[in-house]
Amino acid sequence: MNLKNKIVLVTGAAKGIGLATVKRLLKKEAKVILWDFQPDDLNTAVQSLKNEGHDVFSQVCDVTNKEQVYDNAEVIKKEIGDIDILINNAGTVYTGYMLDRSDAELENMINVNFTSMIYTIRAFMPAMLEKNKGHIVNISSASALIGAPKLAIYAATKWAVMGLTESLRMEAIKMGKKGVKFSSVHPNFLKKGLFEGAKLNLLGSIFAPGVKSHDAVAKVIVNKAIRWGFHSPKVPWIMNQSVLLRALLPSSLLIKFGNIYGVNNMMDEYTGYKDGR
């Protein structure tokens, strides 16, 4: 897909994977809309992009607030037009054993990581279906490929994202709307930022290495998912082994195999965003 002049909306766009993706899209001459719930972070990101000569449109948006999502979507339709590509990137994590976290924390993680996608997709997919053209990219995780201690609800949300994406793809095909594409992107844990401190053992770091930078994920989003149309790209690509192992091994052996990689202890030295921000 040629991205020149394509209208692209990125959620969680003020930093991390979102901002890295925005920068790559701008290099491809796309028209980018940034959504983020933190006004200060969003203003900083937008000003930095404008200083680099880019013209972007931005809106403060808490994607868990469906009224705000739908209101913002109406503004976009009136002032800019129908979007061509929706990138659902907004996400958060609360780590630790599930029973040690509050209901409010777990509900917020579900709402940010999964429920919000229902709102954004319902806001923008109808126009894509009408034109039989568009692409929805949902950011999932390697946690959707294999579970891990201290990430139970996080993993559940990312499995949900994968199932949502696959089912919507099948629905579009059934409706005769093959021009509307869907991708879920599955990065392994990032070494800096949201998952800083998470690590596997020596064997795991060889066969399931962490992702070095946000831009490494952004590159896969823009190139493999959007431009080349991959349904479910993994970052790094070697994470596809998880799919193969799940297909070949019974669950009991899969768990043991994961522990050989150090999955059982990967979150024990986590130092990232413990409060979900």
* Host H or E run for residue 187: strand 180-187
Tell me the CA distances in angstroms from 47 to 31, 43, 53, 134, one per residue in order. 16, 6, 10, 29
Burial of 192 (0-12, 13-18, 19+ CB in 10 A): middle
Give the whole-angstrom CA distance, residue 21 versus residue 30.
Answer: 11
Give the whole-angstrom CA distance, residue 108 versus residue 4.
Answer: 36
| Region label for 193, one of left (φ > 0), alpha (ψ between -120 and 50) or beta (otherwise) | left
Marked catalytic residue, from 70, 97, 119, 154:
154
The question of whether 70 is a catalytic residue gets the answer no
Q: What is the DSSP letter of 220?
A: I
Which residues are annotated as catalytic?
154
